[in-house]
Amino acid sequence: MKKILLGMSGGVDSSAAALLLKEQGFSVLGVTLRLCPGTPCEYESGDAADARRVAEALGIEHLVIDREEAFRQDVIADFISEYAAGRTPNPCVVCNRRIKFGAMLDLALELGCSAVATGHYACTRVCPDTGRTLLLRAPTSKDQSYMLYSLSQHQLSHAMFPLAPYSKPEIRAMATKAGLPVAQRPDSQEICFVPDGNYGDFLRRFGVLPKQGRFIDSNGAVLGQHRGISYYTIGQRKGLGLSFGKPMYVTKIDAASGDITLGPEGSQYSPSAVVERVNWIPWERPPQMLRAQVKVRYQAPPAPAQITPLPDGRALVEFDQPQRAVAPGQSAVFYDGDLVLGGGIIC
């Protein structure tokens, strides 16, 4: 019987994944990682307690493992440095690569498990021609392949996503029918280590003071003062704190000077982007040029584009139609239909 390490957050998705894996005949080891600074480490607390109750209901083993230091170094430190540089990071992408399929995969192999499973909605399959493990969209609106594009071949080849065929309502119904105690637990909507969504205050707690400065227009004329670059992102219109008599959008954030450039309607669109740290999935080396659909945010619709690989792990993305709020620090992910070709960080 194959032994699978399952990341259990205490939510309905990972709990339903445990149910499905057990029904499929796997030996399931549930693991809850303690990640966030300041959270309780006792076995009876919070997410770990919910995961434990699910494990007891299903009759599977459950462990709580402390990986707070790795999370602080690999995820939180990156988040802080990116915001301090005036960029808008996506820490879930980093966490998936470095923690959930990095540190957790290392642990799985140490414990004799053949794979790491999670409650993500995505699919994998092996290409018969190349032997590479491919990443594909889940066939439901809950698809989370965008968050997984940076996984390596080693990580993808040891990844399992039991929820891939199901919609979220189907998962909740399945968990309810099985009597799982978290069946109706609400989904988390914020970054786990910034639950209130206030990034500026979070940075202050780590000694990073959001750099204050000026709002300027594209000609350098001063429009007003802002409260700190960490409170703003490219494409933002609301919450600027000033009235201009017409909609104005953040078009540039200069971390060195502290200036934030604002522009009128239309200026929030970009015809192209350069991405760095590109991870290609179907190939070791991609074609010299390719057509793809590109998502510049998790919730953004895919946009047709031409992609030209560049030296040093970068790529030029030229959109057929200019795209809104192409924010440095966010991920641009490339698709060919349901197949994830790869992606990188917008720079």
Which band of pLDDT confidence, cut at 50, 70 and 90, is reported for residue 189? low
Scanning the structure block, which residue is given the tokens 């919730």? 299
How far is the C-alpha of 127 from the C-alpha of 133, rounded, in Å?
A: 6
**Torsion angle, CA of 171/176/179/181, rounded to 10 degrees?**
80
Query: Tell me, what's the pLDDT at 40?
Result: 41
Catalytic-labelled residue, pool 36, 92, 95, 123: 95
Edge to edge, the sheet with strand 27-34 lists 61-66, 27-34, 3-7, 115-117, 159-160
- Considering only the top CATH level, what class is 3-177? alpha beta
Does 340 have pLDDT greater than 70?
yes
Confidence band (pLDDT; 50, 70, 90) for 183? confident
Q: What is the pLDDT of residue 44?
A: 41
Active site residue 41: no
Q: With 70 as the cut, is the pLDDT of residue 39 above it?
A: no
- Check if the beta carbon of residue 111 is closer than 8 Å to that of residue 103: no
Q: What is the mean pLDDT of the chain?
A: 91
Residue 45: pLDDT above 60?
A: no
The yes-or-no answer on residue 192 being catalytic is: yes
Is the pLDDT assigned to residue 195 strictly greater than 90?
A: no
Check whether 196 has a pLDDT greater than 80. Answer: no
Exposed/middle/buried for 321, CB within 10 Å: 0-12, 13-18, 19+?
Answer: exposed
**Residue 195 CB neighbour total at 10 angstroms:** 12
131 Cβ contact list (under 8 Å, min separation 6): none
Is residue 304 a contact partner of residue 289, using CB atoms and an 8 Å limit?
no
Q: Convert the pLDDT of each residue in 99-138 to its tens digit.
A: 999 999 999 999 999 999 999 999 999 999 999 999 999 9
- The pLDDT of residue 325 is 94
Q: Residue 135 is inside which H or E element, if any? A: strand 133-137
Q: What is the pLDDT of residue 313?
A: 93
Share of the chain above pLDDT 70, in %: 97
Report which of residues 73 and 42 the model is more confident about: 73
The structure tokens listed for 324 are 């809104």
Mean pLDDT of all residues in 243-258: 93
- Helix (H, G, I), strand (E, B), or coil: what is residue 156? helix
Mean pLDDT of 261-290: 95
For the domain made up of 269-346, the CATH class stated in words is mainly beta
Mean local confidence (pLDDT), 209-235:
91
Domain coordinates of the chain in residue numbers?
3-177, 210-264, 269-346
Q: Does residue 165 register a pLDDT over 50?
A: yes
pLDDT bin (cut points 50, 70, 90) of residue 188 is confident
Type and span of the H or E element at 107: helix 104-110
Instruction: Return the structure tokens found at 296.
Output: 């510049």
CATH number of 210-264: 2.30.30.280
pLDDT at 43 over 50: no
Rounded CA-CA distance 55/29 in Å is: 9
Rounded to an integer, the average pLDDT of 87-106 is: 94
> What CA–CA distance (Å, rounded) separates 73 from 79?
10
Q: Looking at residue 51, what is its pLDDT?
A: 92
Helix segments in 179-312, DSSP class H: 199-205
pLDDT of 140 above 80? yes
Say if residue 72 is exposed, middle or buried (CB neighbours under 10 Å; 0-12, 13-18, 19+). middle
Instruction: Give per-residue pLDDT as tens, 3-14.
Output: 999 999 889 999
Residue 48 pLDDT level (bands cut at 50, 70, 90) = confident
